[in-house]
Structures are given as C-alpha cells and as structure tokens.
Amino acid sequence: MKELKILFIGDIVGSLGRKIVKKLLPELKKDIKPDLVLVNAENSAHGYGITEKIYNELIGEGIDAITMGNHIFDKREIIKSLEIFDKIVRPANYPPSVPGRDHLIIEKNGVKIGIINLLGRVFMPAVDCPFRTGEAIADKIKEKTNIILVDIHAEATSEKCAMGYYLDGKVSAVLGTHTHVMTADEKILPGGTAFICDIGMVGAEDSIIGMKKEEILSRFLTQMPHHFEPGESGDGLFNAVALKIAPETGKALEIKSINRVVPENELKEKK
C-alpha cells in the first residue's frame, strides 16, 4: 500500500446530521475510496451525547470508529456500554477511572491505525493535561504503529493550534472538533503532521453551530438559560477532511477539506 486514505467527518448534530451522513457516505466512499472512516458523534443524539441505538446505526452505515468529547456522558445509558463498544473512544484526559477506552487501534487492509481523542481545557471542563496525556498515549501506540490520528475536541483556537505543533512529527494528524465551524487552515506541519483547527460539523445549514437560531439568539439577548435544540429541517451542511498517510512512516501526504450543502429535498425519506 502506497498511501492510506482516511475520511474524518466533523461533529454530527442530531438526526438531520445522521441523515446527511447516510446520504453522502456511499458517494464519498466511491469517490475517495477511504481505507478508514471516522466521525465525531458526541452531538449525534439530538445534540447531546450518543445512544446505543445511534452507535449501532453509525457502525452499520460503514463508520469504522467514533470519537467523542465533553458531551460523551450526557446520555447515561451509554456509560455501561462504553466498555463493550470497541469502536468508540472517549477523551483520554478524563481521570483514569472513567469508563471507556482512552485510545483505539484499528486494523484496516493490513495496516494498524491508532486513534486518540483529547479534550481541551480552555473554556472547557477541568480535566487532565491534554498535551502530556496525548504525548504519553502516542508513545504507547507507537510500539504497534506509526499511524496515529488525534481528535482534539477544544474550544480555543490557540489550544488546538498549540496541540498541532506540540505533536508535530509524533502523530500523523491533529484534527480539531467541537466548535462546529470549518476553518480554512488545513495544512501539513513541518514535522509531517496534518492539521486543521476545526473540521466543522454535519447538521442544519441554516443554524447556529447546528442548533436552532431562535433559542441561541434569545440566550444572547436575554442572558436567560435556554435548552438548545438541534435544527432538524432545511438544507444540510456536511464538513469533513480527507487524508492521505504514508503507511511506513506515518507522515501525512495530503489533507483536503470537504464542504458541501445538501438540499432539503434530497434528504427527505422516500415513502
């Protein structure tokens, strides 16, 4: 194998996000022919967490691995299942006693790929240091493979950029999630690590980060508490990145962003 092709899909938001993935993934698999497909699904269950049903749905549609973030435990039913599900990884810098896997190693087409999920600390819950944790787990994975993907789920642009440079040359890619807005800074860093500050999201195009506009606007205008609901109608937005990795060295060869709008009529289920 000359190059390993990877498709990493941005944060899925709600049922509309899942519909968009179901619609586009077969086409993207045909065009890109990825060896591995990953997605961040921490907002896949109506915007908050993931359920066992949705986990099985995504895996059934051809997703090879799922990363999460600060909403991982919002649906409490998932807590007892995290040890069973072998294709989902939680943020590694939660305390060691927290349920779930702190990394994954998946074999595809005879090649092993390590996957790490990290949670940022700036404007986020208090967790262990993502930098030291990420480096320690990357060193552990390197005993089995040079190909390592890192999802840094963080709020601050500076923190995600810092993670990219901190792990440059130590991992194959550092890919930002959480803020739901695709950035235009995809590049390969000097040490051979692919980087993007935020992959973006899959959800309602006419929304504020996938959530209904009215509720978020009311929060800003009144400063009163609101429960945000994901947009579940209208055109869909699909963000992802396509990577090419050298299997022997683990160095990134290419990173390309994918940004598509799917018309609402194409997402309606046929009767």
Q: How many structural domains are present in the chain?
A: 1
Question: Residue 227 pLDDT > 90, yes or no?
Answer: no
Mean pLDDT of the chain: 95
What number is the average pLDDT over the span 16-27? 96
In DSSP notation, the chain reads: ---EEEEEE-EEBHHHHHHHHHHHHHHHHHHH--SEEEEE-TBTTTTS---HHHHHHHHHTT--EEE--TTTTSSGGGGGGTTT-TTEE--TTS-TTSSS-S-EEEEETTEEEEEEEEE--TTS---S-HHHHHHHHHHHHTTT-S-EEEEEE-S-HHHHHHHHHHSBTTBSEEEEESS-S--S--EE-TTS-EEES---EEEESSSBTTB-HHHHHHHHHH-------B--SS-EEEEEEEEEE-TTT--EEEEEEEEEEE-HHHHSPP-
Q: What is the pLDDT of residue 80?
A: 83
Q: How confident is the model at residue 270 (pLDDT cuts 50, 70, 90)?
A: low
Active site residue 71: yes
| Mean pLDDT across 104-126 | 95
List 46, 71, 103, 226, catalytic entry: 71
Q: Residue 226: which pLDDT band, with cuts at 50, 70 and 90?
A: confident
- Res 150 pLDDT > 90: yes
pTM, two decimal places: 0.95
pLDDT in tens, 81-96: 888 899 999 999 999 8
**What pLDDT, in 10s, does the model give residues 42-76?**
999 999 999 999 999 999 999 999 999 999 998 98
Q: CATH number, domain at 235?
A: 3.60.21.10
Mean per-residue pLDDT, 200-217: 96
Range of 90's domain?
4-267
Res. 269: pLDDT tops 80: no
pLDDT confidence of residue 39: 98
